[in-house]
Amino acid sequence: MGGGIGLFLVMAVAGGVWGITSLVHSFQGGAYSCLPSDFPRYPGSTVSSETTSVHANGHECRMTFESNADIDTVGPYFESHLKSGDWTVGSVDYSAGTITFSRVTRPQVSGTAKLSPLQHGTRIAIVLDS
């Protein structure tokens, strides 16, 4: 009987560790995001911060991702992916590292993607107002 209880406890702890690890990896990949599900995410990037706030005119989502890819690869990716589906690009300023965008069907949903170089990669700061 004692062996059965011990085995159950070991399995419960292992399952808990697996569940927490899975949740952390999902969050780092952007699975639990304040961004809409159809918003482009750079492949392999991880979430470094997320802030959501509500104000009189709606709500604001701020998410920061980090990627190992250089800014010359990340910028064109976002520009092309924000020109498809329900998204459109308002302006692109590669010298400032800024792309403005909005939804096609709801233009009041708009934001910016600010790209900045890291020592080994790119920081992608998204601000979305809706």
How many whole angstroms separate alpha carbon 129 and alpha carbon 51? 12
**Which pLDDT tens digits describe the chain residue by residue (130 residues)?**
666 565 555 555 544 443 343 333 333 433 458 999 999 999 999 999 999 998 777 889 999 999 999 999 999 999 999 999 999 999 999 999 999 999 999 999 999 999 999 999 999 999 999 8
Within 8 A by CB and 6+ apart from 71, the residues are 97, 115, 116, 117, 122
Instruction: Flag whether 25 is in a domain.
Output: no
Instruction: Flag whether 24 is in a domain.
Output: no
Instruction: Flag whether 21 is in a domain.
Output: no
Instruction: Flag whether 2 is in a domain.
Output: no
Strand 121-129: give its sheet, edge to edge.
46-55, 58-67, 121-129, 110-118, 98-103, 87-93
User: Residue 106: which domain range?
Assistant: 33-129
Q: Where are the beta strands (DSSP E) in the chain?
A: 46-55, 58-67, 87-93, 98-103, 110-118, 121-129
pLDDT number for residue 55: 78
pLDDT number for residue 57: 78
Instruction: Flag whether 4 is in a domain.
Output: no
Instruction: Flag whether 1 is in a domain.
Output: no
Instruction: Flag whether 14 is in a domain.
Output: no
Instruction: Flag whether 114 is in a domain.
Output: yes
Within 8 A by CB and 6+ apart from 106, the residues are 130
pLDDT number for residue 7: 55
Q: What is the CATH number of the domain that holds 114?
A: 3.30.530
pLDDT number for residue 10: 54
| Number of domains observed in the structure of the chain | 1
